[in-house]
Structure 1
């Protein structure tokens, strides 16, 4: 459904700005723009910036109106303009940029135990009272406030510094907020300007979540403990967010047609103004954009400058390389892993072969005896393996199990079409492109999902056997599945397509088949005709992994209130692990082979270790400004990206390699044959956040052809927050083909702490 809606909004963006008047010549099309202004150039004749913005806008259009005025996320406003008007406005004094509206996509229990947050878990971590001072701002599709995930039992008064509001409408009143859900706002001006007025019947013009995504992410980040939670009995147990005592502030900026940048920026603006400590963003663009044109990067820089930790989804573009979004180094970029829980369905064929798929079907089971099995391509007209609506032939499907191939429509709908045509069950098989990764779905009729290899064998059997038959047996919930964790195939991958010298993603967290809260306005399948209503749903995506890290960031902020956003990210990264529960290297589900830092960054998040990392790689606003100088950004571009007046010093050599980041992305040039080694040097500064101690370095070299030298090899810390610098020099005589990559790590240890940084080395 989300794909269909996204295609609809593309059409809406093309056509909605055109007047209903037939004469297009008198009503040229308009586009929404975010206008960045330079307040230092405001003429003294204006009393305030808002007055100046209005005057600048009136100078090029009598009819254009401001949608939002911004002062925290950026200095400026958003408005609807023709191309000609936008060009004129961009030439006005004080205008830094005019960024066209884009639409972001949403990057769409067991994890507390898996992460060690529950009693009985190794390294059990109880919530602290300080955690209740932390406020998590979630920018998403809103919230369903009546769920027990948002009850405020046991919480004290709302922190006095909180400045936010609970915006009320007819379906969202003041009592919808409480000491857990401390604020809720909604932003729709950009969405309505581009795609038309929301009538309130399908979507709520309020903070209420009618889609489910925002309720899922917010309850994952900071939901209260709920006993006996499940989806139709699946994943039964105690559900809870990562930071159960933290407060939640909801910023609804995403709608059925997507997340419009003007609304997203307005949400970041209010989150900063309201006083949140954490911002969770489970959405992003499809294609990389320079930092000075990336609205999330721009708003997040201002948030980080205010001491706010920003966690964002890496995207669902995997397993393809360079598929990341939200890559700015001041954003913690989160990929997805699969945990040790499955929802198996067992497929037994008439030839005795058995396969295991996945399903969340909870209705009446199929008969225990084998049923006739058919391939959709042979029982449809016109022939189609996708089981599209109206293609299946009832007389050839009735009473049978139908094999359908994965397509672009909701797989629950595929099963429904089979059932509606008379089929008793469905087996949905992956194509070669889909690979082996399968998702548990809350099917309305008996159905199973199978990976490509098993599905291919199943199809061959159905097409070759004279009397093909099959049975489906639903296995409920299975835990302690190994290997775990593994990198989810859908999780977006590096290398960083925008800045290869910064390794992204930063780390991974649970993101596949995650149980969390759900709206009562939609069924678990998100299909319009799905009338089932649940308080919890199981879905997958980096949208699910991002709020895990947002909640863990809140936990760290509660334990260490003075930690900066960069310190929190460093603690999470340098303590992450890169082996599964059995000690073997983390696997990539897409290939079945060991994953690399391009897949998992620093590794899988480890909350217990992150609370006491020993040393951290901190970074300040000035560090990021120097980083932008290293990218050869102009003063104007730096101001667009950061809002800061900063001029790069022409006498200084700025290097991406000098950004104090907790990982190393090393770019070597192919040797020239001069006999001299190629050499790249990185500098870093470590800050002690633990007891005094002496740390010694060790290096796992990415390649025998690369020599790594660290100077000094020992760092002695005598007090808290003491800083020590070191350099890492990478030397090679090897002439490697361009595109060759290899991986290793660098570790500082005092015998108790291990401060580990991944190394990704490539030749260009």
Structure 2
């Protein structure tokens, strides 16, 4: 359930009492000053809400994004930010400390060769009076993903920093919301054969998750059958004693730094992180159920892969500073896959710490997957839109859980929904606001009624193993670790593939038909469009043998960023290096070698648009691919050449695509068009979806 309140403080006393009681009950007392403002209108004290445990709607974990200022808080609550009471609170806050993330340009001097040197340099950006205060101002120091730090500062102190050499920018910290047993079988993963056998269940691969922590003693994280971690692993375990093992090889806590208490361990007090970890790489646990239903063997996508947890979230959400600190550690620890089931609103990539951290990750060859968000079914509602991120939407499986007791939220299972997979109603849709020329989401995967590990019992059942506790929840948070685990399996099978190659393999082989052989549908049971499904629904076996791939090197994103009209400072924040657009050039977004197309057309876009794509042969050395086109509504297309002939493995061929808007395109009121470009051989189908955003004339 998504909550949206729209109120004005200019109300009658009776109405204000009712509204204030509602706000206080719903949101608790985390934002104390705003609740102090509202409390005169309330008849009771704030009550911290208790989230449902069974059937938990994922968006209930993200009720608030937590606002860096009270105008933002007012906007989020729908309160009039100009009301005098609220303005007084805002003015008081302006004079107090707030957490900023400060981005710096690392000097070339050799004296900054170790972290302690950088930390001393960071301290120099604080005013001398500030540095001498007893209160610890620097919350996090960053050394890998970015050069910079998070610190408690006043606006005046930030202003003073702007004149210091090496300063790039500073941004108020934001907080973003947190956005399984049958799904392996539904996805075609079976013990003893197929992709699981080929990839040896993900053995030796390391999946890192940024989340709410983990319950380390859950049997899903047993290391039975799991090999020791590879020698390249450099992470650590913050749990006491011997809690970590060959399955859970790392666990660190980054929550609490703003309060001056980062000494807590990474245990999961919420459940979200335990659930996502179990979904990605949980070991086999027999007899998993909730209220005796959905009974079966619980197992993650890559059951013999290793896990590392970076606790950056608490119950209400995840602070940007903590996320960046977790990413800063994760990219240096030797991971193969990073999975983030969290995200905020659409932002320019230089303002988005997840996009910034993801770029650092892919430069090290780490596959980076993120939740698309739970703001569907509305268009333009995506999180995590950067093209170097694998953006995951949510779908159903063929298991229907029907509530048999509303009060207890108990469930009964029915297997065999022929319309599965369906797009989840809450799954966020494109087009992307940050980069409309990149089609997002990339993929959909199981995210509805997913059973996976949970820190405690939700049904008080008597279990043979009292620690074998599970829960059933929904969200793009649940879909993301499915794809992260599948990416680990593919990386195990193809260790030389880049993150972009793995993404391409998954997208171009995805299913667009359901179990009944008809197009995948949305919440209205009408065919889902490409802004809901991206490439389609993941098919792990096909993704492991895609035939052709679209690859992208990290430096290929430089002209793309220039094409977004980002200045040199913005690009430096993202890439951590100087990029001169006059030297690397610029390209239109849709020219990036992405395994999809997203273009604008219409009365104001009448000229032909020309793009290229380069594909690499990863199938049989000798193979021929022919062209199949579904041309979008009110468009014309041409492709040259129309036959691709390969004579060796890893051979690359470039083809050219022309899009032409027909007369009157966009005038019929239809906002979007869609189609596909497919290359097919006797063994493979390589499909790239096409989205057209019509420039509809305004009345």
* SS at structure 2 position matched to 1:625: helix
Q: CA deviation at 1:625?
A: 1.1
Give per-residue Cα distances to partners, 1:198-250, cap 9 Å, x unaligned. 9xxxxx92111111000000010001011111112111011100001110001
Gaps of 5+ in 1: 199-203, 345-357, 362-425, 427-442, 448-473, 526-531
Measured in 2, the distance between the counterparts of 1:220 and 1:661 equals 28
Q: State whether structure 2 residue 145 is matched by structure 1 residue 145.
A: no
Residue from 127, 138, 146 that aligns with 1:74: 146
* Of 13, 31, 54, the match for 2:123: 54
Cα offset for 1:34? 1.1
**Is 1:761 equivalent to 2:689 in the alignment?**
no
Residue of structure 2 equivalent to 1:708: 637
Q: Structure 2 CA distance, aligned partners of 1:492 and 1:108?
A: 21
The corresponding residue for 2:358 is: 300
Is the Cα–Cα contact under 8 Å of residues 678 and 731 in structure 1 kept in the other structure?
Answer: yes
Q: Give the SS at the match of 1:61.
A: helix
The residue that corresponds to 1:335 in the other structure is 393
Q: Say whether 1:607 aligns with 2:540.
A: yes
Describe the shift of the 1:751–1:144 C-alpha distance in structure 2 as closer, same or farther (beyond 3 A).
same
Match of 1:161 in 2: 232
Between the aligned partners of 1:553 and 1:341, the Cα distance in structure 2 is 24
Q: Residue 653 of structure 2 aligns with which residue?
A: 724
Closer/same/farther in 2, CA of residues 8 and 717 from structure 1, 3 Å limit: farther
| Shift in alpha-carbon separation, 1:46–1:503, aligned structure 2, 3 A | closer
Can you list the C-alpha shifts for 1:118-152, whole angstroms capped at 9, x where unaligned? 2499x664363482221000110111111110011
CA offset at residue 189 of structure 1? Answer: 3.8
2:203 aligned counterpart, secondary structure: helix
Kept in 2, the 8 Å contact 1:571–1:616? The answer is yes
| CA separation of 1:2 and 1:501: change in aligned 2, threshold 3 A | closer
* Preserved CA contact (<8 Å) 1:132 1:246: yes
In structure 2, the partner of 1:622 is 555
CA deviation string 1:25-83 (max 9, x = no partner): 89931111111110136697998322211112245733363221111111111110011
Q: Does the alignment pair 1:576 with 2:507?
A: no
Give the alignment partner of residue 559 of structure 1, picking from 490, 493, 500.
493
Q: Indicate conservation of the 8 Å contact 1:665/1:759, yes or no.
A: yes
> Closer, same or farther in 2 for the Cα pair 1:7/1:722, shift >3 Å?
farther
**Counterpart-to-counterpart distance in 2, 1:583 and 1:186:** 46
In 1, Cα distance between equivalents of 2:663 and 2:218: 60
2-structure distance, mates of 1:190, 1:556? 37
Kindly tell me: are residues 149 and 612 of structure 1, through their superposed partners in 2, closer, same or farther at Cα, counting changes over 3 Å? same
Q: Distance in 1 between matches of 2:384 and 2:68?
A: 29
CA distance in 1, matches of 2:539, 2:171: 39
Q: Aligned in 2, Cα 1:475/1:75: closer, same or farther, shift over 3 Å?
A: closer
- Residue 113 of structure 1 corresponds to 185
1:253 deviation in Å?
A: 0.6
What TM-score, normalized to structure 1? 0.76
**Aligned counterpart, 2:681:** 750
Distance 1:500 1:15 in 2: 27
Deviation at 1:750, TM superposition (A): 1.6
For residues 486 and 647 of structure 1, the distance between their equivalents in structure 2, rounded to whole angstroms, comes to 45
Aligned-pair RMSD on alpha carbons?
A: 2.8
Note the C-alpha offset of 1:6: 6.0
CA distance in 2, matches of 1:15, 1:114: 42
Q: SS at 1:235's partner residue?
A: strand
Indicate if the aligned counterparts of 1:341 and 1:478 stay in contact, CA closer than 8 A.
Answer: yes
Aligned residues of 2:275 and 2:453 also touching (Cα < 8 A): yes
CA offset digits 1:691-720 (Å, max 9, x no partner): 1211122111112x3221111111222222
Query: What's the offset of the Cα at 1:638?
Result: 0.2
Q: Is the 8 A contact 1:573 1:602 kept in 2?
A: yes
2:446 matches 1:510:
yes
Does 1:309 pair with 2:367? yes
Q: Give the distance between the partners of 1:612 and 1:163, measured in 2 at CA.
A: 32
Asked if 1:587 is matched to 2:645, the reply is: no
* Residue in 1 that maps onto 2:266: 207
Deviation string, structure 1 residues 434-474 (Cα, Å, up to 9, x no partner): xxxxxxxxx43xx6xxxxxxxxxxxxxxxxxxxxxxxxxx8
Tell me how far apart the structure 1 counterparts of residues 678 and 178 of structure 2 sit (CA, whole Å).
36
Residue 611 of structure 1: CA displacement? Answer: 0.3
CA distance in 2, matches of 1:342, 1:46: 56
Aligned equivalents of 2:67, 2:187: Cα separation in 1: 45
Match status 1:96 vs 2:168: yes
The equivalent of 1:131 in structure 2 is 202
Query: CA offsets per residue over residues 341-373 of structure 1, 9 Å max, x none?
Result: 1122xxxxxxxxxxxxx35x4xxxxxxxxxxxx
Counterpart contact for 2:100–2:150, Cα < 8 Å = yes
Would you say the 8 A contact 1:618–1:687 is kept in 2?
yes
Distance change >3 Å, CA 15–CA 158, structure 1 → 2: closer
SS of the equivalent of 1:683 reads strand
State the alpha-carbon separation in 2 of the partners of residues 258 and 757 from structure 1.
35
Contact 2:218/2:468, CA 8 A, preserved across alignment: no
Counterpart for residue 279 of structure 1: 338
The count of residues paired between Structure 1 and Structure 2 equals 610
Aligned to 1:471: none
Contact 1:190–1:261 at 8 Å: present in 2 too? no
Paired with 1:11 and 1:679, the residues of 2 have a C-alpha distance of 56
The offset of 1:7, in angstroms, is 6.5
Q: Report the Cα distance in structure 2 between the residues aligned to 1:120 and 1:621, rounded to whole angstroms.
A: 37
**Whole-Å separation in 1 of the counterparts to 2:348 and 2:28:** 25
Structure 2 Cα separation of the partners of residues 280 and 506 of structure 1: 15
Contact 2:217 2:467 in 1 (8 A): no
The separation in 1 between residues aligned to 2:584 and 2:342, in whole angstroms, is: 40
Q: 1:65 maps to what in 2?
A: 137
Name the CA distance, whole Å, in 1 between partners of 2:548 and 2:143.
35
Name which one, 1 or 2, has greater alpha-carbon Rg. 1
Q: Paired residue for 2:48? A: none
Q: Is the 8 A contact 2:632 2:674 kept in 1?
A: yes
Structure 1's 6 and 334: CA in aligned 2 closer, same or farther, altered over 3 A? farther
Paired with 2:411 and 2:318, the residues of 1 have a C-alpha distance of 38
Q: Give the TM-score normalised by structure 2.
A: 0.82
Superposed, 1:173-572 pairs within 5 Å as 173-192=240-259, 205-285=264-344, 287-344=345-402, 358-359=403-404, 361=405, 443-444=407-408, 476-520=412-456, 523=458, 535-572=469-506
The Cα shift of 1:646 comes to: 0.6
CA distance in structure 2 between the aligned counterparts of 1:495 and 1:128, rounded to whole angstroms:
34
Question: Quick check: 2:625–2:680 contact (8 Å CA) kept in 1?
Answer: yes
Task: Report the Cα offset of residue 476 of structure 1.
Answer: 2.1
Aligned with residue 660 of structure 1, among 579, 593, 597: 593
